[in-house]
Amino acid sequence: MITSSFQFTHAAAQHMAAVPDGSVDLIVTSPPYPMVEMWDDCFSRQSGAVAAAMEAGDWDGAFEQMHRVLDGVWDECCRVLRQGGFACINIGDATRSCGGTFRLFSNHARILRALEERGLFCLPDIHWRKPSNAPSKFMGSGMYPAGAYVTYEHEYILIFRKGGKRVFRTRDEVERRRESAYFWEERNTWFSDLWEINGAPQALKNCPSRARSAAFPLEVPYRLVNMYSAYGDTVLDPFGGLGTTALACAGAMRSCRIYDADAALLRCARDLFAHSLPLFQALPRQRLERHQAFLSALDPQARERCYQNLPHGFLVKTQQERQLRLYRPQSIAPLGAEGFTLSYAPWE
C-alpha cells in the first residue's frame, strides 16, 4: 500500500521548528501581497513597523516593512528546502493610489532579491495571465494620452532552486522519478512561460475570519507539483490558506505540509480536504482522459512513431513516458489531530 501524509499546522511560518533542515523537496506558495489593501491588516498585526508606516503615509516604508515580515518566512523556507529542491512563489505586484498618486509596487522584484540574497538561484519564471472581466479594468484618463495605465492582468510564478540539479541516487529514487514523468503534451503546455488560467472563485462560506479565500486555482499548484517533484516527495506551503496546494498534492501522490496563521481558515482547509476524495481521484483521471483525447487527434503517421507505455499499454510520444504510471487515491484517514493519510493503488 502506498501512502502520503498531510499536515495542517496553525502557526506563523516564521517559526516552522517542526520541519527539519533540508527535509522539503518542493515549496509551492502564495504569500499575502504587500500593498494590496486586502492584506494591510494582516501585515499590520504582524509588525508594528508596518502599522506605523501606514499610519504616517510612508508608503515606501510600509512596502519594505511588509516584505520584512515575508523575509522571516523566506529564511525558514531556505532552511528547510533540500539541495536541488525548487521553490515556486506566486506573487502579484500591487497597484495603489497613495496620497493621490497612482503607483505600482513591484512585489515580484523584491521577493526575487530576497530569495537570491538567501542563496537560492533564480530560474525562468512564469507569467500567469488572469483575464479580468471587470468593466472598470481601464484606469486613468480615458481616450486622452499621457494619463492612462496599462491594465494589469498577470501575476508571477517565480521559480528558484537551492543549489544545482537534484540528484536521484538510489534505484528506488530513480524508479519513482521515471514513474512520475509527465506526458509530452503536458510538458509543452506546462513549461511555457505564459499560463492563461482563470482565477479561483473567492467567496468563502462558513469561515468566521474571512469572506474571501485569496486561493489560487487548483491548476496552478497541480502543474507545479507535477513539474518540480516526484511521487512520494514532500511539498511545503508556508502560506497554506484554504489548502489548495495540499489538494493538488493529494491528487499527485505527494505528501504536503501547510502552515497558516489564520486558525479559522485552517479549520476550513482541513474540512475541505477531508471531503475531497472524489476531487483527488478526478485529478489523475483527467490527465488520462486528456492524454486519450490527444492520442485520438494524432494522424496515423504520428501514431506510428509513438512508443507503448509499459504499465498502462497506451501510446506515448517519447521514450521517457514509457514508465509513466498513474496512481488512484483510494481512501483517506485521519493522522493525529491535525492531518490525514491517503492511500493509493496503481491505476488499473
Distance CA 222, CA 279 (A): 12
- For residue 238, the minimal CB distance to ligand SAM (Å) is 6
Tell me whether residue 48 or residue 57 sits nearer to ligand SAM (CB atom). Answer: 48
Nearest CA to 83 out of 162, 148, 181, 193 is that of: 162
Tell me whether residue 69 or residue 324 sits nearer to ligand SAM (CB atom). Answer: 69
Tell me whether residue 129 or residue 176 sits nearer to ligand SAM (CB atom). Answer: 129
Tell me whether residue 260 or residue 321 sits nearer to ligand SAM (CB atom). Answer: 260
Tell me whether residue 3 or residue 14 sits nearer to ligand SAM (CB atom). Answer: 14
- For residue 80, the minimal CB distance to ligand SAM (Å) is 14
Nearest CA to 7 out of 214, 270, 326, 197 is that of: 270
Distance CA 30, CA 238 (A): 8
Helical ranges in the chain per DSSP H: 40-46, 48-55, 59-80, 107-117, 171-179, 184-190, 219-228, 244-251, 263-274, 277-296, 300-304
> Per the structure block, which three cell numbers stand in for 326?
498513474
> Per the structure block, which three cell numbers stand in for 2?
502506498
SS3 (DSSP) at 181: coil
Cα angle 56-62-67, degrees, rounded to a multiple of 5:
165
How far CA 128 is from CA of 185, 192, 217, 231, 298, in Å, comes to 19, 10, 11, 25, 29
> Per the structure block, which three cell numbers stand in for 108?
515580484
- For residue 291, the minimal CB distance to ligand SAM (Å) is 26
Q: Which stretch binds ligand SAM (CB under 6 A): 137-145, 233-241, 294-302, 338-346?
A: 233-241
Tell me whether residue 14 or residue 330 sits nearer to ligand SAM (CB atom). Answer: 14
The interface mask with ligand SAM, positions 4-33, x = CB under 6 A, is --------xxx---------------xxx-
Residue among 27, 112, 215, 315 that touches ligand SAM (CB under 6 A): 215
Residue among 241, 284, 329, 339 that touches ligand SAM (CB under 6 A): 241
Tell me whether residue 71 or residue 185 sits nearer to ligand SAM (CB atom). Answer: 71
Residue among 182, 231, 259, 340 that touches ligand SAM (CB under 6 A): 259
Is residue 91 a contact residue for ligand SAM (CB under 6 A)?
no
Residue 327 near residue 347, CB atoms below 8 Å: yes
Buried-state track 233-259, b at ≥16 Cβ within 10 A, e below 16 = bbbbbbbbbbbbbbbbbbbbbbbbbbb
| Contacts to ligand SAM from residues 71-90, by CB under 6 A | 73
| Contacts to ligand SAM from residues 158-187, by CB under 6 A | none
- For residue 37, the minimal CB distance to ligand SAM (Å) is 14
User: Backbone phi, then psi, for 88, in 5-degree steps?
Assistant: -115, 120
Nearest residue to ligand SAM, scored by beta-carbon proximity:
241
Q: Which stretch binds ligand SAM (CB under 6 A): 92-100, 146-154, 166-174, 214-222?
A: 214-222
Q: Which stretch binds ligand SAM (CB under 6 A): 52-60, 119-127, 171-179, 255-263?
A: 255-263
- For residue 239, the minimal CB distance to ligand SAM (Å) is 3
* DSSP state, residue 39: G
Which residue ranges make up the site for ligand SAM (CB under 6 A)? 12-14, 30-32, 42, 46, 73, 213-216, 238-239, 241-242, 244, 259-262, 265
